[in-house]
Structure 1
Amino acid sequence: MRTLNLGILAHVDAGKTSLTERLLYAAGVIDEIGSVDAGSTQTDSLALERQRGITIKSAVVAFTIGAGSDATTVDLIDTPGHPDFIAEVERVLSVLDGAVLVVSAVEGVQAQTRVLMRTLRRLRIPTLIFVNKLDRGGADLDAVVDQLATTLTPRIVPLGTAEHQGTKAAAFRPFRERDAGFRARLLDVLADGDEALFADYVEDPASVSYRRLRRALARQSRQARVHPVFAGSAITGAGIDELTTGIARLLPSTSTSTATATATATADDGGGTAGPPGPPRGTVFKVERGPAGEKIAYVRMVAGALRTRDRVTAGKVTAISVFDDGGTVPRAEVPAGRIAKVWGLAGVRIGDDLGEDDGDGRENGGGHHFAPPTLETVVVPRLARQKGALHAALAQLAEQDPLIDLRQDDLRQEVSVSLYGEVQKEVVQATLAEEYGIEVEFRESTTIHVERLIGTGDAVELIKKDGNPFLAGIGLRLEPAPERDGVTFELEIELGALPLAFIRAIDETARETLRQGLHGWQVPDCRVVLTRSQYAPRQSHMHATFDKSMSSTAGDFRGLTPLVLMTALRRAGTRVLEPIHRFELELPADTLGQLLPALARLRAVPGTPAPAPAGTGYVLDGDLPAAHVHALQQQLPALTRGEGVLETRFDRYQPVHADPPDRPRTDHDPLNRKEYLLRVSRRV
C-alpha cells in the first residue's frame, strides 16, 4: 500500500470543493455528490462555509485509488482559497506530498491562483493543474493553457484537449503518441530539464522513445520541475478518471506498513520519502475541539510510528484515528507518511514538531515560523453579561489557531484578537454565534506594531529599600536578542540561592510583562537575566501556623518583577517598529503613471518596473506598510481598470520614522509606580 498526502488549492469559486466531492464519489466513498451551494459537501463543515460557499478551515478526507498492490491511499486536504486564510494554507502546505491546483476554464488564472502557484513552486511541491468547468458557457481550454504558460510557468505539459466545451457534453480527450505535436511538446519541455534526454534529442530526435518520454514526465513531475495539465468538469465528471490516474502516477507517494514506513522511491520513479524508522516524529498542522471539549491534533507523521500510550512533550497519546474511505477508523498506531487525528495531547499547538519527550521540555525538531498577523480589533459582546463567556470562547479559538493572539484588557473590560484580514471578522463572528451562542461586534481594525531594545539596561530593587513594599529582592538585566529568538530567561545567581518556585514566578511574570513595552507594544526578542535576588525564608510564630507577613511568597516576586523589569527597559530604551509587506503587482502598461502617485500616498517604496511575462504590461514589486495594504486592495481596481493583480506577504518590521504610536496598556502600568503599587497592594 502506498500513501499520498494531497492538497487541493484554488482561487475562490474555481471549484476545488466540488472537485473533492467528485473524487470521493469516483472512489466510491460517497453515494451522492454534495453541493457547495446547498451546503451539503463533505469538507465544508462550518456554517459560514456552507452559507458563503467558501472553504475557511482545512479538512481531511481519505480515499483509495486502484486495488491490491497497486493501490494508493490518498489523504486529501481541502484548503481555503480566500487570501485572508493564507496562513491556514501555509500550514497545510508543510505536510503535503503533492497538490492539485484548480483553475476555472471560464475565469482562467486569477489573483490567488498566482499567489498559490508561486508558493507551491517556492516550496517545490509537485503540482498537477486541473482546468475545471469545461461544461460552462465561455470555457476555453486553449486560452487558459496559454495563460498558464505566460502567467504561472512555461513548464506546463497539457495532456489532452477539450471536446464540446461550453456544453453539458464537454469532455477531456487525452493525447496519444500519434497526436500531432504532442510528442514534440513533450520533448521541448522535458529535454530542458534532463541533460541526457537533451543530448539524445539533439543527436537524433527520433531515437527518443515515447515510453522514455512518459517516464521522464513522471520523474520531473514528482520533482516539481514540470506541471502536467488536465481538464474536465467536477460537476459532470468529465476528465476525473484521467486526473485520478495522474494523481497516482505523476505525484510522489510513500510505501507504508502497519509497523513502520520506509521509502521505496528510486531516482527513476521519484517517489516520496517517509523518513527513516526510529523515534516518532511528525508535524501538527491543525487542532480542533471534540464534542466533550477535548483537544484533537491533526498530525502528519514524518518518521517512525506514533502509538497509543506514547508520551511526548505535549502529553500522552490516548487514542489515534487514521482517515479511511471518507471517515476515520481507530488504530493502535500511525506510521510515517500518514495523517492521523491524535487525542491526549493537552499542550499541543499548531506548528509543533511532534516527537518523543527529550527531557528538556521541548519537542524534538523545533517549531515552524508563520508570518504574524498584522491587524487587531476589539471584540465586543452585544450582551454585556456575556463578557466572561466571550473571553472563554475566544481562548478556545486561540488554542486552535495560535496566530489568533488574545489580548485581555481588564481595566477596560475589553478583549482583542489578531487578524490577517477583514473576512476573518466574519469567521470569528459566525463561529461565536453558531458554536457558543454569543453575538459580537467589532471595532475598527488597527495595525500591530512591536518594540525592540535599543541597548542594554539593568535595575535592582532590594527588600525594605527605596520604598519596596514586597518581601522580595530582584536584579534584572535586559539585552537585545536576534529576531525570532523570542524571550529567553537566564540566571546569573548561584543555583540554590533562590527557591525554584520564586525563579519560575519571575520568569513567567517577566514574559507576561514584556507583552507591553514602553509604548504598549510587545517586546518580542530579548534576554532577561536574573542578576540578584533576596527573599525572607519561611517563618512562623511560636506554636502558630505559617505567617506570610514574615516570609516571602511567589506573589511578592510576581508583584515586584514588573517594576524592576520596566525600569531596566527604560534604561535600555526601545524603538517602535511597524510591519512591512512585500508586494508584487502586475498591471497594464498605460496605468503605471496613475498608479505610482497612489503608491507614494500610501508610503509604498516601489522598485523598477519590469516587463510582464505576457509582454502586455509591467510587474512592479516593492515594500508597503501593512497599515495601507487594505487601502491599496480597495483602490487597485479603479487604478488599473480591474486588470491589476496584487500579491502581498509579510516581510519584516522596520522602525517608525514619525512619532511612535502608543497602545493603551491593559495591565496595572508598572511605568507609573505610585498607581501600580496602589492597585497591586490592594490586590495583595
Structure 2
Amino acid sequence: MSVTTAASAAVPAIQPRRTFAIIAHPDAGKTTLTEKLLLLGGAIHLAGQVKARGERRRARSDWMKIEQDRGISVTTSVMTFDYEDITFNLLDTPGHEDFSEDTYRTLTAVDSAIMVIDAAKGIEAQTRKLFEVCRMRDVPIITFINKMDREARDPFELMDEIADTLALDVAPVSWPVGSGSDFRGCYDLLDNQMLLLEGGGAAGSKKTAIACKGVDDERLAKVMSDEQRAKLAEDVELIEAACPPFDQESYLEGHMTPVYFGSALRDFGVKEVLDGLARFAPSPRPQPADGRTVAPEEDKVTGFVFKVQANMDKNHRDRVAFMRICSGKFRRGMKLRQSRTGKSLAVYNPILFFAQSRELAEEAFPGDIIGVPNHGTLRVGDTLTEGEDIRFTGIPNFAPEILRRVRLDDPMKSKQLRGALEDLAEEGVTQVFRPVLGASWIVGVVGQLQLDVLATRIEVEYNVKAGFEAAPYDTARWIDGDKGEIDRLIEANRGSIAEDRDGAPVFMARNNWELNHIQQTWPDLRFTATRERA
C-alpha cells in the first residue's frame, strides 16, 4: 500500500514536538490507551487500571478524588513524555459530555488528535461532537479502533460508518485478523508485516512482528490458518480497490484519517499508533490571532491560556494556568505582557506537567504546555507575549444548559462559598452569575454530572457544604451592544439581569418565549449564547 508524505517546514527546534489530545466517547478505552502510551514513553512503569482496586486504581491522568472514585475523567490532564527523540505533549480530555466545554478549549491547544472508537459500538454521540470541534479547527485525526480482543463489528462496516457519519476519507494502515477470542493480530498495510498476537486475546499475550513480502507470503502459513490467510488476502484486495491510499497532506488538512486496529488493554496496536503520531502528525502549527496568524518559527514568545485549574495541590490554594506556547523560546523568569490588562507578568516558576506531578520548566518551545502559577491574575483566553499587543482567538464561553441556585448549609461560610465558586469558575467549566436583585448565587453548567462534581469539590477542597436547588431561569444570554441601550434594558428588567464573574451583563430568561420577547423588544441589542473570552 502506497503512502504520500509531505515535508515539514518547521525549524529543527520546533520539529521534535507533537502536541495531541485523545478524544472518545466514555468507556471507549481512552484512559487505558493514555496509560499504555505513557508506558511506551517510559513516563510510568505500571498502568493504573481505572477498574482495578486500591493503589492500582489511581490512573495517572485521573488525579482528582472524584475521578478515582467514579472511574471517569472530569478535567483535562497534561502529560509530557519523550519517545524516539520526540517530545510528546498529551492532553487527556474528559470523555463525559457534561465536560465538553473543557474538552473544546483543550482542543484549541493541540495540533492533532487520536480518536478512540469501541469496535463493538462504532461512532457514538460524544465522538461525533468532539470530532466536529476538531473539524472546525482542521485538527488532523488518527483513528484507533479499540477492543478488537472482544466481540466486534465487521471492520468494513466500521470504516463505512466513519466515512459516512464524519464525512472523512478513511485509509486503513493496519487491518485486523479476527476479533474476540479469534483475534490473531493485525496486518501492517504500510510496512507489509504481520503483527501477531500470540495467545489470542488472553491476558499476558505477546506481540511478534513477522516481516512479509505481502499477504501471500509463505511465512504467514506457519502462524495463520488457511482460512485466516484467505480472508486477509480477500480483505486487502478489497481495501486496495475501495479505499484511497494514505496521503499525509490530506491527513494534515483534516480530510483523511489513518485507521489503526488493536486492543489498548492488551497493549496491542498502541506502539503503532504512537509511531504513526511520530511519523505523520504535524509539528506545532500556526495559531490564529486578531489581525494575523502567529507562526511557531517567530523569535518572540507568544502563548495563550486554555485552562485554569484550581487546587491541584490540595495543601495550597494554588491556581495554575495552562499555557500553550505558540512561538519563540520561553525561558524561566521571562517577563510577559498580558494582553487583556496590558500588565507585565514575570514567570519565575513555570511548570512542566505529568498529570498532578510537576517540575520546574527551565525552557519551553512552541507546542509545549507549561503551567503558570497565579492567584487569579490569569484567566482562560488570556494571551501572553514578549510585548506585542495581540490576542489569540477562538476560545469562547458557552451559555449553560442548566441553571441552579446555590444553597449554603452554613450561612457563616458565605465568604468561603464565594471564594470556592470564584476559584472553580476560573477553570472555565462552571459558570457563576450574581443576580442584580437577590443574594443567592446562580451556577450554570452543561450537564447534571457537573453539579455533582462541583458540590463534591466545594466540600472536599474548601470544607463548605452546599447544595443546588431549582432556579427560576431556563437559560442565560450575554448582552452586547450600545452601553446606553444596555443600561436602559437593565433598568427595565432588573429582576432578570445578572453579572458573570467578569462583570459582563447577562439576561436570565425564564423560558424561550421570554427570550424571544426580549430580543424582539430590544432589536438593537444582541443576546448571544457564546462570548469570546477577552
> 2:431 matched to which residue of 1?
404
> 1:304 matched to which residue of 2?
328
How far is 1:369 from its partner?
Answer: 2.5
Distance 1:154 1:96 in 2: 20
TM-score normalised per structure 1: 0.58
**Contact residue 320 and residue 334 of structure 1 kept, 8 A:** no
> 2:303 matched to which residue of 1?
282
3-state secondary structure, aligned to 1:434: helix
> 2:445 matched to which residue of 1?
419
**Contact residue 64 and residue 72 of structure 1 kept, 8 A:** yes
**Contact residue 408 and residue 467 of structure 2 kept, 8 A:** yes
How far is 1:246 from its partner?
Answer: 1.0
Distance 2:404 2:439 in 1: 14
Change (3 A) 1:402 1:306: farther
Distance 1:252 1:168 in 2: 36
1:368 to 395, 408, 426: 395
* Partner amino acid, structure 1, of 2:251: S
Change (3 A) 1:575 1:220: closer
Residue by residue over 1:169-212, the C-alpha shift from the partner in whole angstroms, topping out at 9 and shown as x without a partner, is 6523322564556487468654xxxxxxxxxxxxxxxxxxxxxx
How far is 1:13 from its partner?
Answer: 0.9
3-state secondary structure, aligned to 1:319: coil
> 1:438 matched to which residue of 2?
464
> 1:224 matched to which residue of 2?
254
1:478 to 470, 484, 488: 484
Please state if 1:293 is matched with 2:317.
Answer: yes
Change (3 A) 1:576 1:74: closer
Please state if 1:31 is matched with 2:45.
Answer: yes
Change (3 A) 1:283 1:451: closer
> 1:448 matched to which residue of 2?
475
> 2:30 matched to which residue of 1?
16
Residue by residue over 1:606-647, the C-alpha shift from the partner in whole angstroms, topping out at 9 and shown as x without a partner, is xxxxxxxxxxxxxxxxxxx599xxxxxxxxxxxxxxxxxxxx
1:207-286 aligned within 5 A = 217-254=247-284, 275-286=296-307
Q: Percent identity?
A: 26
Change (3 A) 1:75 1:223: same
Distance 2:67 2:267 in 1: 23
**Contact residue 310 and residue 317 of structure 1 kept, 8 A:** yes
My pick for the range that moved more, 42-51 or 15-24, is 42-51
How far is 1:452 from its partner?
Answer: 5.5
* Partner amino acid, structure 2, of 1:285: F
Residue by residue over 1:123-150, the C-alpha shift from the partner in whole angstroms, topping out at 9 and shown as x without a partner, is 2100011111112234543432232223
1:54-69 aligned within 5 A = 54-66=72-84
Change (3 A) 1:414 1:452: closer
Distance 2:99 2:183 in 1: 35
Q: Does 1 or 2 have the higher relative contact order (CA < 8 Å, sep 6+)?
A: 2
3-state secondary structure, aligned to 2:350: strand
* Partner amino acid, structure 2, of 1:51: D
Distance 1:343 1:19 in 2: 29
How far is 1:10 from its partner?
Answer: 0.4
How far is 1:344 from its partner?
Answer: 4.5
Change (3 A) 1:353 1:655: farther
**Contact residue 429 and residue 445 of structure 2 kept, 8 A:** no
Change (3 A) 1:577 1:250: same
1:102-501 aligned within 5 A = 102-138=116-152, 140-167=154-181, 171-175=185-189, 178-179=214-215, 180=233, 182=236, 185=239, 190=244, 217-254=247-284, 275-289=296-310, 290=313, 291-307=315-331, 308-313=333-338, 315-323=345-353, 328-344=358-374, 346-356=376-386, 364-365=391-392, 368-401=395-428, 404-407=431-434, 413-445=439-471, 446-450=473-477, 478-479=484-485
**Contact residue 497 and residue 506 of structure 2 kept, 8 A:** no
Residue by residue over 1:408-440, the C-alpha shift from the partner in whole angstroms, topping out at 9 and shown as x without a partner, is 78x855222121222211110111122122222
Give 5+ residue unaligned stretches, structure 1: 191-212, 256-261, 264-272, 457-476, 481-509, 529-573, 581-624, 628-652, 661-684
Change (3 A) 1:279 1:183: farther
How far is 1:295 from its partner?
Answer: 2.7
* Partner amino acid, structure 2, of 1:447: D
> 2:203 matched to which residue of 1?
none
Give 5+ residue unaligned stretches, structure 2: 1-14, 193-213, 216-232, 288-293, 523-534
Change (3 A) 1:579 1:157: farther
3-state secondary structure, aligned to 1:106: coil
3-state secondary structure, aligned to 2:34: helix
**Contact residue 18 and residue 35 of structure 1 kept, 8 A:** yes
**Contact residue 61 and residue 326 of structure 1 kept, 8 A:** no
> 1:502 matched to which residue of 2?
none
Change (3 A) 1:76 1:576: closer
> 1:74 matched to which residue of 2?
88
**Contact residue 451 and residue 522 of structure 1 kept, 8 A:** no
Distance 1:575 1:428 in 2: 22
Distance 1:44 1:516 in 2: 47
How far is 1:403 from its partner?
Answer: 5.3
How far is 1:479 from its partner?
Answer: 4.2
Change (3 A) 1:89 1:140: same
Distance 2:36 2:433 in 1: 39
Change (3 A) 1:659 1:48: farther
* Partner amino acid, structure 1, of 2:68: R
Residue by residue over 1:430-473, the C-alpha shift from the partner in whole angstroms, topping out at 9 and shown as x without a partner, is 1112212222221025323448689x8xxxxxxxxxxxxxxxxx
**Contact residue 374 and residue 579 of structure 1 kept, 8 A:** no
Distance 2:361 2:325 in 1: 14
> 1:92 matched to which residue of 2?
106
Residue by residue over 1:84-136, the C-alpha shift from the partner in whole angstroms, topping out at 9 and shown as x without a partner, is 21110110111111000111011221111111222222221000111111122
**Contact residue 393 and residue 436 of structure 1 kept, 8 A:** yes
**Contact residue 64 and residue 325 of structure 1 kept, 8 A:** no
Change (3 A) 1:441 1:579: closer
> 1:588 matched to which residue of 2?
none
3-state secondary structure, aligned to 2:397: coil
* Partner amino acid, structure 1, of 2:325: M
Distance 1:170 1:15 in 2: 20
3-state secondary structure, aligned to 2:100: helix
> 2:63 matched to which residue of 1?
45
TM-score normalised per structure 2: 0.73
1:521 to 478, 491, 497: 497
**Contact residue 287 and residue 399 of structure 1 kept, 8 A:** yes
* Partner amino acid, structure 2, of 1:222: L
**Alignment RMSD (CA, Å):** 3.8
**Contact residue 79 and residue 355 of structure 2 kept, 8 A:** yes
Residue by residue over 1:2-29, the C-alpha shift from the partner in whole angstroms, topping out at 9 and shown as x without a partner, is 0011100001111101110111112222
**Contact residue 352 and residue 368 of structure 1 kept, 8 A:** no
Distance 2:351 2:478 in 1: 44
**Contact residue 433 and residue 498 of structure 2 kept, 8 A:** no
Change (3 A) 1:403 1:281: farther
